[in-house]
Amino acid sequence: MKYIKPQILSERNIEIWKDIKGYEGLYQVSNWGRVKSLRNNIILKPALLNHKGRYPAVGLHKKGKTINPRIHRLVAEYFIDNPENKKCVNHKNGWKWCNCVNNLEWATHRENTRHAYEIGLMGVGENSPSGSKLKNNEVLVIKALLKHTNLKQYEIAEIFNVDPSAISNINRGKDWKQIGEELKKPYKLNLKSALVAKTMIGSGLKQHEIAELFGVSDTTITSLKQGKHRFSKKIANYFQE
């Protein structure tokens, strides 16, 4: 079972491409969060660059020079109005790899920080990234993602807001050995898992495959799709267009 990482959160949206200023005829960015090279007619593969705050970025080449713009800022600059001239671009669901236009919004530094606290990307004490602890059901999902999808370990780390070494340790069996690899018994999705499951709907996987991946019933995924799940309102706030 192969997971196709979602670039779009609404089946109603049509992918729209726009020229990148200064690179007209060379590169374009889309509202789905993709960047393509017109010379080679290929979609560029994003990479995490340390000097870019660990956000996915791409390399644009022209006349022997290369720049590495972050994808979320490209999408925001070309597809989202910013009348108040806010400086930050916020990921509504907290996942840096989900750069489609309806997962992004302009924000002030204060709004960006407050949002990070609200969705658990920042905290104090035990809830801080440096001291965060995964729950049993989250480890089950991580093990399922490692086994059944083609997501990279650092991408899974981004989803669950942990250091990539934590995912590596789970993958090598160094940590969380007591948690089985298979999701044998259904459990209730928490908000974080529900957000990930929601992004998978319409990505190429069938509903029963998503249900199997998360160890929940088919009706749970159906309720997510129809907006009837207990987390649907909170998810809608992140994914509103």
Dist. CA 145–CA 213, nearest whole Å: 7
Query: What is the pLDDT at residue 218?
Result: 86
DSSP letter, residue 27: E
Q: What is the pLDDT of residues 23-52, one digit of tens each?
A: 999 999 999 899 999 999 999 988 876 554
Query: What is the pLDDT at residue 122?
Result: 47
Dist. CA 207–CA 184, nearest whole Å: 17
Dist. CA 34–CA 45, nearest whole Å: 9
Domain positions in the chain: 17-118, 127-239
User: 3-state DSSP call for residue 17?
Assistant: strand
Using 70 as the pLDDT threshold, list the residues of the chain that sit under it. Answer: 1-13, 49-53, 115-133, 137, 148-149, 178-188, 192, 199, 202-205, 237-241
The token pair at 182 is 């298979």
User: 3-state DSSP call for residue 24?
Assistant: coil
The token pair at 170 is 């789970």
At the topology level, CATH places domain 17-118 in Homing Intron 3 (I-Ppo) Encoded Endonuclease; Chain A (3.90.75)
Query: What is the pLDDT at residue 5?
Result: 40
Which residues have a Cβ under 8 Å from the Cβ of 237 and sit 6 or more positions away? 92
The token pair at 214 is 């998360």
Please calculate the CA angle 199-118-83 and round it to the nearest 5 degrees.
Answer: 80
Query: What is the pLDDT at residue 131?
Result: 43
Dist. CA 163–CA 61, nearest whole Å: 31
